[in-house]
Protein backbone atom coordinates (compact mmCIF):
# COMPACT_ATOMS: atom_id res chain seq x y z
CA UNK A 1 0.00 0.00 0.00
CA UNK A 2 1.43 3.38 -0.97
CA UNK A 3 2.06 5.95 1.73
CA UNK A 4 -0.87 8.27 2.35
CA UNK A 5 -0.25 11.87 3.38
CA UNK A 6 -1.96 12.70 6.68
CA UNK A 7 -4.39 15.58 6.81
CA UNK A 8 -2.21 18.39 8.23
CA UNK A 9 -2.99 19.82 11.65
CA UNK A 10 -5.36 22.78 11.51
CA UNK A 11 -8.99 23.74 10.90
CA UNK A 12 -11.16 22.26 8.13
CA UNK A 13 -14.74 22.61 6.90
CA UNK A 14 -16.40 19.25 7.45
CA UNK A 15 -19.65 17.36 7.92
CA UNK A 16 -20.48 14.29 10.02
CA UNK A 17 -21.09 11.12 7.98
CA UNK A 18 -22.73 7.78 8.83
CA UNK A 19 -20.86 4.67 9.85
CA UNK A 20 -22.14 1.10 9.90
CA UNK A 21 -23.51 -0.15 13.22
CA UNK A 22 -23.17 -3.61 14.72
CA UNK A 23 -26.54 -4.67 13.28
CA UNK A 24 -25.69 -3.51 9.75
CA UNK A 25 -27.64 -0.24 9.80
CA UNK A 26 -26.01 3.19 9.71
CA UNK A 27 -25.85 6.06 12.18
CA UNK A 28 -23.86 9.27 12.53
CA UNK A 29 -23.66 9.45 16.33
CA UNK A 30 -22.55 6.20 17.99
CA UNK A 31 -22.66 5.96 21.80
CA UNK A 32 -20.22 3.70 23.61
CA UNK A 33 -18.05 3.22 26.69
CA UNK A 34 -14.31 3.78 26.70
CA UNK A 35 -11.95 1.15 28.12
CA UNK A 36 -12.32 2.76 31.55
CA UNK A 37 -16.12 2.88 31.03
CA UNK A 38 -16.39 6.61 30.42
CA UNK A 39 -19.48 7.37 28.35
CA UNK A 40 -18.69 8.84 24.93
CA UNK A 41 -20.08 9.52 21.47
CA UNK A 42 -18.14 8.62 18.32
CA UNK A 43 -18.54 10.46 15.02
CA UNK A 44 -16.76 10.26 11.64
CA UNK A 45 -16.23 13.51 9.75
CA UNK A 46 -15.58 14.15 6.06
CA UNK A 47 -13.54 17.16 4.98
CA UNK A 48 -15.63 19.01 2.38
CA UNK A 49 -13.32 21.72 1.03
CA UNK A 50 -9.76 22.15 -0.13
CA UNK A 51 -6.97 19.77 -1.01
CA UNK A 52 -8.09 17.11 1.48
CA UNK A 53 -11.80 17.12 0.57
CA UNK A 54 -13.22 13.61 0.88
CA UNK A 55 -10.83 12.49 3.62
CA UNK A 56 -12.44 11.13 6.78
CA UNK A 57 -11.35 11.34 10.40
CA UNK A 58 -12.82 10.34 13.77
CA UNK A 59 -13.86 12.29 16.84
CA UNK A 60 -14.62 11.02 20.35
CA UNK A 61 -16.75 13.28 22.54
CA UNK A 62 -16.66 12.38 26.23
CA UNK A 63 -19.43 12.81 28.82
CA UNK A 64 -17.57 13.64 32.01
CA UNK A 65 -18.24 16.36 34.55
CA UNK A 66 -15.73 18.60 32.76
CA UNK A 67 -16.48 17.72 29.13
CA UNK A 68 -20.18 16.86 28.80
CA UNK A 69 -21.39 20.39 28.05
CA UNK A 70 -18.77 20.89 25.32
CA UNK A 71 -19.62 17.50 23.80
CA UNK A 72 -23.32 18.37 23.59
CA UNK A 73 -22.40 21.76 22.11
CA UNK A 74 -20.42 19.94 19.41
CA UNK A 75 -23.46 17.78 18.63
CA UNK A 76 -25.55 20.95 18.39
CA UNK A 77 -23.14 22.36 15.81
CA UNK A 78 -23.67 19.16 13.78
CA UNK A 79 -27.45 19.68 13.89
CA UNK A 80 -28.63 17.73 16.95
CA UNK A 81 -32.16 18.76 17.93
CA UNK A 82 -34.16 18.24 21.12
CA UNK A 83 -33.05 17.10 24.56
CA UNK A 84 -32.93 13.31 24.08
CA UNK A 85 -29.36 12.23 23.35
CA UNK A 86 -30.63 8.84 22.18
CA UNK A 87 -32.41 10.60 19.32
CA UNK A 88 -29.03 11.76 17.98
CA UNK A 89 -28.46 8.24 16.64
CA UNK A 90 -31.35 8.63 14.18
CA UNK A 91 -30.89 12.31 13.27
CA UNK A 92 -28.94 13.30 10.11
CA UNK A 93 -26.51 15.66 11.93
CA UNK A 94 -25.57 17.07 8.53
CA UNK A 95 -24.77 20.70 9.28
CA UNK A 96 -21.46 22.14 8.17
CA UNK A 97 -18.92 22.47 10.99
CA UNK A 98 -15.29 23.39 11.50
CA UNK A 99 -13.06 20.61 12.86
CA UNK A 100 -9.66 21.03 14.46
CA UNK A 101 -7.34 18.24 13.34
CA UNK A 102 -4.35 17.20 15.42
CA UNK A 103 -1.70 14.50 15.16
CA UNK A 104 -0.91 11.80 17.71
CA UNK A 105 2.03 9.41 17.64
CA UNK A 106 1.86 5.95 19.24
CA UNK A 107 4.51 3.26 18.97
CA UNK A 108 6.14 4.98 16.02
CA UNK A 109 2.91 5.52 14.06
CA UNK A 110 1.28 8.91 13.57
CA UNK A 111 -2.47 9.38 13.26
CA UNK A 112 -4.61 12.37 12.33
CA UNK A 113 -7.69 12.82 14.51
CA UNK A 114 -10.44 15.37 15.17
CA UNK A 115 -9.66 17.15 18.43
CA UNK A 116 -12.50 19.71 18.52
CA UNK A 117 -15.76 20.38 16.69
CA UNK A 118 -16.72 24.04 16.28
CA UNK A 119 -19.30 26.13 14.49
CA UNK A 120 -18.39 26.91 10.83
CA UNK A 121 -15.26 29.01 10.76
CA UNK A 122 -14.95 28.30 14.46
CA UNK A 123 -11.23 28.64 15.05
CA UNK A 124 -10.42 29.96 18.52
CA UNK A 125 -9.92 33.72 18.53
CA UNK A 126 -8.66 35.55 21.61
CA UNK A 127 -9.97 39.11 21.74
CA UNK A 128 -7.70 41.88 22.96
CA UNK A 129 -10.63 43.88 24.37
CA UNK A 130 -13.80 41.78 24.71
CA UNK A 131 -17.08 43.36 25.86
CA UNK A 132 -18.10 42.71 29.43
CA UNK A 133 -21.39 40.90 30.07
CA UNK A 134 -23.02 44.20 31.04
CA UNK A 135 -21.72 45.92 27.89
CA UNK A 136 -23.07 43.07 25.75
CA UNK A 137 -26.52 43.35 27.36
CA UNK A 138 -26.65 47.12 26.78
CA UNK A 139 -25.44 46.75 23.21
CA UNK A 140 -28.00 44.01 22.49
CA UNK A 141 -30.80 46.20 23.85
CA UNK A 142 -29.66 49.11 21.69
CA UNK A 143 -29.57 46.89 18.59
CA UNK A 144 -32.80 44.96 19.18
CA UNK A 145 -34.93 46.90 16.67
CA UNK A 146 -32.25 46.80 13.98
CA UNK A 147 -31.68 43.09 14.49
CA UNK A 148 -35.42 42.37 14.26
CA UNK A 149 -35.41 43.92 10.79
CA UNK A 150 -32.95 41.33 9.45
CA UNK A 151 -34.68 38.03 8.52
CA UNK A 152 -33.43 34.75 9.97
CA UNK A 153 -31.50 32.41 7.65
CA UNK A 154 -31.45 28.61 7.97
CA UNK A 155 -28.00 27.11 8.46
CA UNK A 156 -26.30 25.36 5.56
CA UNK A 157 -26.64 21.60 5.56
CA UNK A 158 -24.41 19.24 3.62
CA UNK A 159 -25.67 15.92 2.24
CA UNK A 160 -23.20 13.04 2.32
CA UNK A 161 -24.67 9.65 1.41
CA UNK A 162 -21.47 7.83 0.48
CA UNK A 163 -20.63 4.53 2.15
CA UNK A 164 -18.74 4.82 5.43
CA UNK A 165 -14.95 4.95 5.21
CA UNK A 166 -12.07 4.25 7.55
CA UNK A 167 -10.08 7.22 8.87
CA UNK A 168 -6.74 8.40 7.59
CA UNK A 169 -4.01 5.83 7.23
CA UNK A 170 -0.95 6.23 9.48
CA UNK A 171 1.98 8.07 7.98
CA UNK A 172 4.00 4.86 7.67
CA UNK A 173 1.61 3.65 4.96
CA UNK A 174 -0.10 0.86 6.91
CA UNK A 175 -3.88 0.55 6.59
CA UNK A 176 -6.15 3.02 8.36
CA UNK A 177 -7.59 2.21 11.76
CA UNK A 178 -10.60 -0.03 12.08
CA UNK A 179 -13.41 1.44 14.16
CA UNK A 180 -16.05 -0.02 16.42
CA UNK A 181 -17.60 0.88 19.75
CA UNK A 182 -14.46 -0.06 21.70
CA UNK A 183 -11.77 1.30 19.35
CA UNK A 184 -9.82 -1.98 19.62
CA UNK A 185 -7.00 -0.70 17.39
CA UNK A 186 -7.08 2.90 18.58
CA UNK A 187 -4.33 3.66 21.14
CA UNK A 188 -5.75 7.12 21.88
CA UNK A 189 -9.24 6.07 22.98
CA UNK A 190 -8.14 4.96 26.44
CA UNK A 191 -5.53 7.66 26.94
CA UNK A 192 -7.87 10.54 26.08
CA UNK A 193 -10.58 9.27 28.42
CA UNK A 194 -8.36 8.75 31.44
CA UNK A 195 -7.77 12.36 32.44
CA UNK A 196 -7.44 12.55 36.26
CA UNK A 197 -10.31 14.22 38.08
CA UNK A 198 -12.95 13.49 35.46
CA UNK A 199 -15.97 11.42 36.43
CA UNK A 200 -19.20 10.72 34.62
CA UNK A 201 -21.76 13.35 35.58
CA UNK A 202 -24.45 15.42 33.93
CA UNK A 203 -23.66 19.09 33.49
Phi and psi torsions of 191, nearest 5°: -60, -40
Q: List, in order, residues 6 or more apart from 166 with CB less than 8 Å away.
A: 56, 175, 176, 177, 178, 179
Asked if 33 and 191 touch (Cβ cutoff 8 Å), the reply is: no
SS3 22: coil
Q: pTM higher than 0.75, yes or no?
A: no
Residue 125: per-residue pLDDT = 53
Q: What is the pLDDT of residue 39?
A: 94
Task: Quote the pLDDT of residue 136.
Answer: 82
Q: Is the pLDDT of residue 156 over 90?
A: no
Q: Specify the pLDDT at position 93.
A: 93
Nearest to 37 by CA among 198, 193, 175, 141: 193
**What's the mean per-residue pLDDT of the chain?**
77
Q: Using CA atoms, how far apart are residues 17 and 42, in angstroms rounded to an integer?
A: 11
Query: What whole-number distance in Å separates Cα of residue 12 and Cα of residue 33?
Result: 27
Quote the pLDDT of residue 188. 44
Measured over all CA atoms, what is the biggest interatomic distance in the chain, rounded to whole angstroms? 61
Amino acid sequence: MSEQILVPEGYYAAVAVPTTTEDGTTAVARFALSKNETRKVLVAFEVIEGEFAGRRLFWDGYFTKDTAKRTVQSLRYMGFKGDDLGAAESQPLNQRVSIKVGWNTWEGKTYARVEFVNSPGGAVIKLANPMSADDRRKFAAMMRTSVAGVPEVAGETVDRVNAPAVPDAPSNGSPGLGWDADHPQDPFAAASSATPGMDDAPF
